[in-house]
């Protein structure tokens, strides 16, 4: 492993970056609780394993997903939706771990959304080559709540556009421990992740984990 690859895991300065009105990037926000977050994630995966969901158009997503909280985001041939039960097991999704909730609330408050209390966390696992095309998060019941997105593991590029798919896209390098929060005027901005590059992270292995907290119900 090269020193350049290790350098890619370091969160760059400044600590806070404004991406748009209502949208901020909090560099290294999750580093203090990284071990607790990864430990809680392992427990979630035991009860609700990662899986590659199928879109309504019949495409298998390259990103593997699971959920925790009162509801989980799912997609299949019938559409996109939030469901209180895991379709694989028929059981409720694992409850939201305390370290997840604490980080989401603290990050949202720091970004200007002190009333945010997520009831769902969609967990994405990117392996090299996996990507998520530009999209809006719009299956939630109330768009007054922000999205809180935590990056763990391999670095990635975050594409952040506007209210239209054709709006200009800004690109931000996301590193292990970074937290992006967007809401208010930018709540429905298009965003995505291009194909993840090869690498191995010291704590997360050959993958990027993305925790996305929402007010879904």
Per-residue tokens: 62: 């390259």
DSSP 165: T
Q: How far is CA 178 from the centre of its chain?
A: 11
Positions of the chain with pLDDT under 50: 1-8, 11-12
Angstrom distance (rounded) from CA 136 to CA 77 = 19
pLDDT of residue 14: 55
Question: What is the pTM assigned to this prediction?
Answer: 0.91
pLDDT of residue 78: 87
**For 44-75, how does the pLDDT look when each residue is reduced to its tens digit (9 = 90+)?**
999 999 999 999 989 899 999 999 999 999 99
Cis? peptide before 14, omega within 30° of 0: yes
Domain boundaries, the chain: 3-214
**For 97-123, how does the pLDDT look when each residue is reduced to its tens digit (9 = 90+)?**
999 999 999 999 999 999 999 999 999
Q: How many CB atoms lie within 10 A of CB 159?
A: 17
- CA torsion angle for 9, 17, 23, 72 (degrees, to 10)? 20
The domain over range 3-214 is classified in CATH as 3.40.190.10: no
pLDDT of residue 5: 44
- SS3 assignment, position 35: helix
């Amino acid at each position: 492993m090269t020193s350049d690859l290790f350098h890619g895991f370091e969160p760059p300065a400044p600590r806070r970056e404004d991406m748009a009105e209502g949208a901020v990037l909090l560099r290294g926000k999750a580093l203090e609780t990284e071990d607790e977050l990864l430990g809680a994630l392992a427990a979630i995966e035991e009860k609700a394993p990662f899986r590659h969901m199928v879109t309504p158009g019949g495409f298998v997503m390259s990103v593997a997903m699971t959920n925790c909280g009162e509801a989980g985001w799912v997609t299949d041939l019938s559409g996109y939706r939030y469901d209180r039960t895991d379709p694989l097991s028929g059981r409720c999704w694992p409850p939201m771990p305390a370290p997840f909730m604490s980080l989401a609330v603290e990050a949202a408050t720091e970004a200007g959304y002190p009333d945010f209390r997520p009831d769902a966390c969609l967990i994405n696992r990117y392996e090299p080559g996996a990507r998520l095309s530009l999209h809006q998060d719009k299956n939630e019941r109330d768009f007054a709540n922000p999205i809180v997105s935590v990056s763990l593991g391999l670095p990635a590029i975050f594409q952040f556009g506007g209210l239209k798919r054709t709006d200009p896209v800004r690109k931000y390098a996301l590193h292990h421990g970074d937290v992006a929060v967007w809401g208010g005027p930018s709540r429905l901005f298009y965003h995505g992740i291009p194909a993840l590059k090869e690498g191995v992270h010291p704590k997360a292995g050959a993958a990027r984990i993305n925790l996305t907290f929402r007010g879904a119900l």
